Amino acid sequence: MGSDRNIYLNMKNLKEARSILFDSFPFSETLSSESVSVPDAVGRTLSEPVTANFSSPSFHAAAMDGIAVQAEKTFGTSETSPRVLVIGKDAFYVNTGHVLPENTDAVIMIEYVQVLDENQVEIEAPAFPWQNVRKVGEDIVATELIFPSNHVVTPYCIGALLSGGIFSVMVRKRPEVLIIPTGSELVDWRKMGGEGLKPGQVIESNSFVLEKLIEEWGGTSVRTKHVEDNVEKIRKQVEKAADKNFDFILIAGGSSAGSKDFSRKVIDDFGEVLVHGVTIMPGKPLIIGKAGAKPIFGIPGYPVSAIIAFEQFVGPMMLKMLGRPEREREKIEVEPTRKIASKLGVEEFVRVKLGKVGKRVVAVPLPRGAGSITTLTEADGIIRIPNHIEGIKEYEPVQAELLRPAISLENTIVAVGSHDNTLDILSDRIRASHSNITLSSSHVGSLGGLMAIRKGLCHLAGSHLLDTEDGSYNISYIKKYLPETPVKLINLVLREQGLIVPKGNPRKIGGIADIGREDICFINRQAGSGTRILLDFKLKQLNLDPNIITGYKNEEFTHMSVAVSVLSGSADAGLGIHAAAKALNLDFIPVVTEQYDLVIPEEYFKTKIIQILLDIINTKDFKSRVTALGGYNTDKTGQLIYSL
């Protein structure tokens, strides 16, 4: 190990690291204040209490259209003893909001007034004092407290403030944060033009994410141009920031145990490293330091790590400065669909897809890589696994923090099973026509989908399981694995399966037999997937031993992942669908046309969300978009294939 390579120093658990941060920066005087007009104060935090200058209303006002009267003069009135009132003397016409005439204290609604002529009206019931009247100060009384310190102004507050005669308020200044993106591999997307990325290049996105997170949490930011991996250049940016009025400094992408991550060195030069590494995943490489009196953070470079580090440390520190309480996400009890392993000593933030199936909320874990930003964009919730346990058992009830409202889970179609590109189109078309309904699909293979149905974990499963005895699809497997579960089998598409190979087919692969060649590296699908069953069937027909195939044990979970492996050069061929090859401009060698169906339990078949899904797959729009992908046939789409 070279002398320049970092090791994690002062590594702390989440609770310890937060305590160190908050104790080191108490912010006893919080932020300075500024005066802003009331309409511009929405989203801002009041730095001092606000008391009313005016009462609201500032006069006795009619609350209804009708006649204003002195209630006492109407006492004794009844249907058998009506009373005639003289307009201008005993009664006065008023509209809603009008000032109550002098010596009146009630309003009789116009519906209960009989007009006799221009000067006289008749009533048949008495009024009582302050009937249908908004009295002075009914809403706000001059000098009373409207909002206390640290109140966050909302659009609703504007009316109360203006009505109380408050036209400007003192609010805490927004925390100002400097973001310094670092990394020689980074590319500014605004300067790319039509060019693609070269090997080793990465689009710089973290600073833009951090900028919007800071804004969402009540702050403002300045983002520098990205800085290459050079201690002196990063140090100069921090030095410039130290001379300005930034409240925080974020060095983005400069924290890990790698030899080219220089945040720790720079922070050491300007002050003190308080924490170097936190026992959370993602987010472990976070650095917390002090530059003079200012917090300075080394934010991890992986997108998910950066976001979690912000939400656990930077964001809460901003709220503390603003005098606001910490954010707490709504939590619900969920059941993981499979065991989630975890490391002792590390608190893990596991992103999950959620959906309500029957009376249960099921949680499907997403990939846990810190570099996969889509695991957050696709996630409905986060399961936090404490650092003192080794994982969570399958179906063990646990708490999940929600990333979207709980009510949305009622309108989530949970699909588990085989991957197909048409599911993306189906998800889009469902959302386009019914914005409150979501299709959440997880890819565990066709057999995995049937097992999920058997365990009551999904509304439907995608399946393309070939019966090698008679050439049919799915029915024999349904009878075998779901003998007591009534289901309906609906065709989604017919699709071409074949070998995905690089453009131009440089290895001159002609068919399945060629993947046994010594010069071919193959990428496989996971055991239990329909594609894997098809491959093994074809190998058996060819009397080809899987053990001689280089890469047979290397598995991917989707057709697109297989195509990406071929595109990247890590594999020479993989079995997948034509649409995946076409999407990445790869060549395709047809092997078979197969049937991809939706297996839907009878108990969910007639539900509103499933009927919407079925209506959509029968539309011309859906079918035409599927056909455009290439390698699909929709002649049987929407047809009932089998009912048990």
Distance CA 41, CA 57 (A): 23
Phi-psi region of 175 (alpha: psi -120 to 50; beta: other; left: phi over 0): beta
Asked whether residue 433 is domain-assigned, the answer is: no
Do 69 and 211 sit in the same domain of this protein? no
Q: How far is CA 406 from CA 333, 375, 426, 463, in A?
A: 11, 19, 23, 29
pLDDT surpassing 80 at residue 260 = no
Of 537, 493, 492, 488, the closest CA to residue 512 belongs to: 537
pLDDT digits over 79-135, tens only? 999 999 999 999 999 999 999 999 999 999 999 999 999 999 999 999 999 999 999
Distance CA 522, CA 546 (A): 11
pLDDT surpassing 60 at residue 401 = yes
Query: What does the DSSP 8-state code read for residue 546?
Result: G
The per-residue pLDDT for 6 is 53
Asked whether residue 428 is domain-assigned, the answer is: no
Asked whether residue 409 is domain-assigned, the answer is: no
**Residues forming beta bridges with residue 264, ordered by sequence position:** none
Phi-psi region of 314 (alpha: psi -120 to 50; beta: other; left: phi over 0): alpha
Do 469 and 615 sit in the same domain of this protein? yes
Q: Secondary structure of 230-258 in the HEC alphabet? A: CHHHHHHHHHHHHCCCCCEEEEECCCCCC
CATH number at residue 71: 2.170.190.11
pLDDT digits over 34-78, tens only? 999 999 999 999 999 999 999 989 999 999 999 999 999 999 999
Distance CA 612, CA 435 (A): 12
CATH number at residue 384: 2.40.340.10
Do 485 and 609 sit in the same domain of this protein? yes
Do 455 and 523 sit in the same domain of this protein? yes
Asked whether residue 180 is domain-assigned, the answer is: yes
Asked whether residue 9 is domain-assigned, the answer is: no
The per-residue pLDDT for 191 is 85
The per-residue pLDDT for 1 is 36
Q: Which residue has the tokens 């060019």?
A: 195
Do 507 and 471 sit in the same domain of this protein? yes
Do 388 and 509 sit in the same domain of this protein? no
Distance CA 609, CA 594 (A): 27
The per-residue pLDDT for 149 is 94
Do 251 and 369 sit in the same domain of this protein? no
Residue pair 342/348 in contact by the 8 Å Cβ criterion: yes
Boundary residue ending a domain (298, 322, 346): 322
Do 477 and 382 sit in the same domain of this protein? no
Residue pair 271/291 in contact by the 8 Å Cβ criterion: yes
CATH number at residue 38: 3.90.105.10
Do 494 and 603 sit in the same domain of this protein? yes
Distance CA 536, CA 50 (A): 75
The range of the structural domain enclosing residue 158 comes to: 33-56+138-172
The per-residue pLDDT for 298 is 94
Asked whether residue 4 is domain-assigned, the answer is: no
The per-residue pLDDT for 143 is 94
The per-residue pLDDT for 9 is 58
The per-residue pLDDT for 200 is 85
pLDDT average, residue stretch 600-624:
97
Domain count, the chain: 5
pLDDT digits over 153-187, tens only? 999 999 999 999 999 999 999 999 999 999 888 88
- Lowest pLDDT segment from 106-110, 246-250, 495-499, 587-591: 246-250
Supply the pTM of this predicted model: 0.84
Do 235 and 267 sit in the same domain of this protein? yes
Distance CA 76, CA 69 (A): 14
pLDDT surpassing 80 at residue 195 = no
Distance CA 359, CA 340 (A): 22
Asked whether residue 384 is domain-assigned, the answer is: yes
The per-residue pLDDT for 238 is 86
Strands of 444-486, DSSP E = 461-463
**Residues forming beta bridges with residue 107, ordered by sequence position:** 68
pLDDT average, residue stretch 253-257:
61
The per-residue pLDDT for 600 is 98
Boundary residue ending a domain (404, 437, 458): 404
The answer to whether the peptide bond before residue 365 is cis (omega within 30 degrees of 0) is no
Distance CA 408, CA 416 (A): 18
pLDDT digits over 369-383, tens only? 777 888 888 899 999
Confidence of residue 588 (pLDDT cuts 50, 70, 90): very high
pLDDT average, residue stretch 609-619:
97
Residue pair 239/296 in contact by the 8 Å Cβ criterion: no
Distance CA 64, CA 47 (A): 39
The per-residue pLDDT for 337 is 85
The per-residue pLDDT for 255 is 57
pLDDT surpassing 70 at residue 3 = no
Q: Residue 487 corresponds to which amino acid?
A: V
The per-residue pLDDT for 560 is 94
Boundary residue ending a domain (404, 431, 456): 404
The per-residue pLDDT for 2 is 41
Q: What is the mean pLDDT of the chain?
A: 92
Q: Which residue has the higher pLDDT, 613 or 374?
A: 613
pLDDT surpassing 50 at residue 556 = yes
Do 497 and 455 sit in the same domain of this protein? yes
The per-residue pLDDT for 131 is 96
Do 300 and 342 sit in the same domain of this protein? no
Q: How far is CA 408 from CA 403, 457, 625, in A?
A: 11, 17, 27
Asked whether residue 221 is domain-assigned, the answer is: yes
The per-residue pLDDT for 431 is 94
